[in-house]
Amino acid sequence: MFSCADTLGKITLVTLVAYAGPVFTSQKAYTVALGGVIWSILLLNEVFSLSSTIALALICAGLYFVAKKPVSESLLERAVTD
């Protein structure tokens, strides 16, 4: 039963990479880390320490830089739509 779920998950991941691209798909790691922190606080009553805050800030900064479009790309999109 677990091998069927694993196979279905891998097929879904490959389909997502083909559809959305590898950069978008790699951002999943950031959301998994953020979700893990939130769930550990809500469900397991874990303490959110200073080191956890710093780590979460670094994760968010990494997500910002990965998802940020270059200025030249946004200018190009504006020129094409005008």
Question: Residues 41, 48: contact at Cβ < 8 Å?
Answer: yes
pLDDT of residue 81: 58
Amino acid at position 28, single letter: K
pTM: 0.45
Question: Residues 29, 54: contact at Cβ < 8 Å?
Answer: no
Amino acid at position 60, single letter: C
Q: Where are the domains of the chain?
A: 2-81
Structure token pair of residue 1: 């039963």
pLDDT of residue 70: 61
Q: Which residues contact 67 (CB under 8 A, 6 or more apart)?
A: 27
Question: Residues 63, 27: contact at Cβ < 8 Å?
Answer: yes
pLDDT of residue 34: 75
pLDDT tens, residue order, the chain (82 aa): 567 877 887 888 788 778 877 777 777 766 777 788 888 888 888 888 898 889 888 877 887 777 666 655 555 555 555 5
